[in-house]
Amino acid sequence: MTRPLITHRTLDRIGLLFVALVMISPVILFFLWMISLSLKYEIDNGAYPPIIIPENIAWSNYVKVFEENNFLLYFWNSVLVTGTATLLALVIGVPAGFGIARLKAEKSAVVIMIARMTPGLSFLIPLFLLFQWTNLIGTLWPQIIIHLVVTVPIVVWIMIGYFETTPKELEEAASIDGATTWQVFRLVALPIAKPGIVVSFILALIFSWNNFVFGIVLANRETRTLPVAVYNMLSFEQVSWGPLAAAALIVTLPVLLLTMFAQKQIVAGLTAGAVKGG
């Protein structure tokens, strides 16, 4: 009786593996094709039927992206904008998450939910005007500031959820021993909350890095971030597929690497945020 059951189960597992492979095939196809496009010369990219693995690999596409399109500058801009906006969000968002959780003012998080519902463009119009009047256009500051619209809600949202689950007994004990609220936060709450901080850091980083809409309005030639730079390659130059795909890969590679290495945190953060988001 047991033997046929086991074979049945093995068959099931192989069947599931097969179904899973079918399901991820669009993902594989996309990324393989992206890599393939980025490593082919124009002749191979224009071939029909399409060539997947070329005879001559065009590493020069990558060189071209950096040489002809100022990509090093745009990469650095992206690092500065995303880095600053994310760090600022942590500095103000983590204490806020703590405060809101302890004040039991979770309802105030409704603001954050509504912010998430608001189309990015309706933040963009007023802030664009404000940046024009204050003469900040031309620096990276407008983008850093507006990226806070993305990063702060993520951090606050995740940290509220996290501080709600951390035990309050230790904090109470510390404050009875005479610790100030700041000391309680700094020495008791913060160390326990480290995993939550990591999750919110990673998610804020990714969503800020990927942001496109703020950049197309606020960035000029010198202050472009990578997503905007890639888009501009498409619109303003004779479209040659190899360098274009190489550029697309360069933009998204840091995020994909992060996704691979921090998958557990990302999944935890997204599902927690998502479930709470309802």
Q: Considering beta carbons, is residue 180 or 220 the nearer one to another protein?
A: 180
Interface mask toward another protein for 200-219; x: CB under 8 A: ------x--xx-xx--xx--
Using CB under 8 A as the binding rule, whether residue 255 contacts another protein is answered as yes
Q: Residue 20: CB partners within 8 Å, gap ≥ 6?
A: none
Q: Which two tokens stand for residue 233?
A: 């390659």
Total residues interacting with another protein, rule: CB under 8 A: 103
Using CB under 8 A as the binding rule, whether residue 73 contacts another protein is answered as no
| Backbone dihedral region for residue 239 (phi beyond 0: left; psi -120 to 50: alpha; all else: beta) | beta
Residues 219 to 248 in contact with another protein, rule: CB under 8 A:
226-228, 230-231, 234, 241, 244-245, 247-248
Gap between the Cα atoms of 265 and 196, Å rounded: 9
167-203 as b/e, with b when 16 or more CB fall inside 10 Å? eeeebeebeeeebeeeebbeebbeeebeebbebbbbb
Closest separation in Å from C-beta 31 to another protein = 7
Residues 115 to 174 in contact with another protein, rule: CB under 8 A:
115-129, 145-146, 148-149, 152, 156, 172
Closest separation in Å from C-beta 67 to another protein = 20
Closest separation in Å from C-beta 148 to another protein = 5
DSSP tally for the chain: helices H, then strands E: 15, 0
Using CB under 8 A as the binding rule, whether residue 277 contacts another protein is answered as yes
